[in-house]
Amino acid sequence: MLDNYGRRINYLRVSVTNLCNLRCSYCMPTGGVKKKEHRDILRLEDIENIVKAAVRLGIDKVRITGGEPLVRKGIVQLIENLARIDGLKDLSLTTNGILLKKYARDLKKAGLNRVNISIDSLDRMKYRKITRCGNLDDVLEGIKIAKDAGLTPIKLNTVLVGGFNDDEIEDFVNLTLEDDIEVRFIELMPLGETRSWPESSFVSNETVLEKVPILIPLPFKGHGTVARMYTLPNGKGKVGLISPLSSHFCNYCNRIRVTPDGKLKSCLHSNQEIDLLNAHPDELYKLIFEGIKSKPTKHNIGIKDTTLVYRNMNEIGG
């Protein structure tokens, strides 16, 4: 359906848990987050009902995220149930990749189309440092297994953190030379944990173009496009720049989000939420309709902005 500004909203991201097996410093407090009571999070059947109602309203793309979606019990069954919903054309998942070696094949069999895998450093020590506990080799193996399982096209998400991984930009870009993958650089956003981080941590995606000026721009696809796309000369893969701070893509935004505690967010950068937890299945259509109609025209975050979102990404679903 169209929102009040004529944007076609066809993409829903559902965060199925706020828990995670990593502790990325920009996303989670050091000690992790408290496990919520069962009654305070969406049950798997609630998620299914929400997706069904959203599909009736014109949603045809769903991404499952978190927290880390692969730590949610019953995730494969959820994917299987969602994949059966008539009218859903694209079902994907964002993961830190640690558990892909265990789940990739079952997820593919259950009907998952593709995965985005987050990886912020190609250096073992630095990877451990930013995730506070992660093992880079697990992710690299996960990427390979996901590819072999056919969860393609594989997209890698790299959040640029000034002074931490901006020296690895060329290494990430070079992954696209021989491999048919998409490496997406995401500007660090001032949400939750990062609200108090120094300005120097927030690096504009223009840095990627300064460091790798040979990147060739690809045609802009318009509706629903949040990434500006590039490729290396003779590169097999692509490089995407997702720049929520330095260039807003609100005019092309086609998405809404549901948090693990059942709050519908029509904009990532707004604190406005509609409660879907405990809503009767018959009410969901109306509530989601209202959410889409109340989607703000644009977000106004910027590094120095004071209108800040209090939830961390693990509680919203990135």
Residue nearer to ligand SF4 on the CB measure, 55 or 156: 156
| Residue 304: count of CB within 10 angstroms of its CB | 8
Site string for ligand SF4, 8-37 (x = CB under 6 A): ------------x-xxx--xx---------
Site string for ligand SAM, 172-201 (x = CB under 6 A): --------------x-xx-x--x-------
Residue nearer to ligand SAM on the CB measure, 57 or 237: 237
Q: Is 66 in the site for ligand SF4 (CB under 6 A)?
A: yes
- Among ligand SF4, ligand SAM, none, the one that 23 touches (CB under a kind-dependent 5 to 8 A) is ligand SF4
Residue nearer to ligand SF4 on the CB measure, 22 or 256: 22
In the region spanning residues 76 to 95, those forming contacts with ligand SAM, defined by CB under 6 A, are: 94-95
| Residue 80: count of CB within 10 angstroms of its CB | 16
Bridge partners (DSSP) of residue 239 are 183, 230
- Among ligand SAM, ligand SF4, none, the one that 157 touches (CB under a kind-dependent 5 to 8 A) is ligand SAM
**Of all residues in this chain, which one has the CB nearest to ligand SAM in the complex?**
318
| DSSP E strands, the chain | 11-15, 61-65, 90-95, 114-118, 155-160, 182-187, 216-217, 227-231, 238-242, 255-258, 263-265, 274-275
What does the alpha-carbon distance between residue 220 and residue 249 come to, in Å, rounded to a whole number? 12
- Among ligand SAM, ligand SF4, none, the one that 194 touches (CB under a kind-dependent 5 to 8 A) is ligand SAM
Q: Is 20 in the site for ligand SAM (CB under 6 A)?
A: yes
What does the alpha-carbon distance between residue 265 and residue 259 come to, in Å, rounded to a whole number? 8
Q: What is the three-class DSSP state of 106?
A: helix
Question: Minimum Å distance from CB 124 to ligand SAM?
Answer: 18
Site string for ligand SAM, 108-127 (x = CB under 6 A): ----------x---------
Q: How many CA atoms lie within 13 A of 148 on its CB side?
A: 12
What does the alpha-carbon distance between residue 227 and residue 33 come to, in Å, rounded to a whole number? 30
Bridge partners (DSSP) of residue 185 are 158, 241
User: No. of H helices and E strands in the chain?
Assistant: 8, 12
Which value, to the nearest 10 degrees, does the dihedral of the CA atoms of residues 225, 226, 231, 235 take? -90
- Among ligand SAM, ligand SF4, none, the one that 47 touches (CB under a kind-dependent 5 to 8 A) is none
In the region spanning residues 146 to 175, those forming contacts with ligand SAM, defined by CB under 6 A, are: 157, 159
Q: Is 104 in the site for ligand SAM (CB under 6 A)?
A: no
Name residues whose C-beta falls within 8 Å of residue 24's C-beta, 6 or more positions apart in sequence: 96, 120, 130, 131, 132
CA-based nearest residue to 54, from 279, 248, 222: 279
Residue nearer to ligand SAM on the CB measure, 16 or 276: 16
Site string for ligand SAM, 236-255 (x = CB under 6 A): --------------------
What does the alpha-carbon distance between residue 51 and residue 34 come to, in Å, rounded to a whole number? 26
In the region spanning residues 43 to 72, those forming contacts with ligand SAM, defined by CB under 6 A, are: 65-66, 68
What is the DSSP-derived secondary structure letter of residue 86? T
In the region spanning residues 72 to 131, those forming contacts with ligand SF4, defined by CB under 6 A, are: 96, 118
- Residue ranges that bind ligand SF4, judged by CB under 6 A: 20, 22-24, 27-28, 66-68, 96, 118, 313-314
- Residue ranges that bind ligand SAM, judged by CB under 6 A: 20, 26-27, 65-66, 68, 94-96, 118, 157, 159, 186, 188-189, 191, 194, 313-314, 318
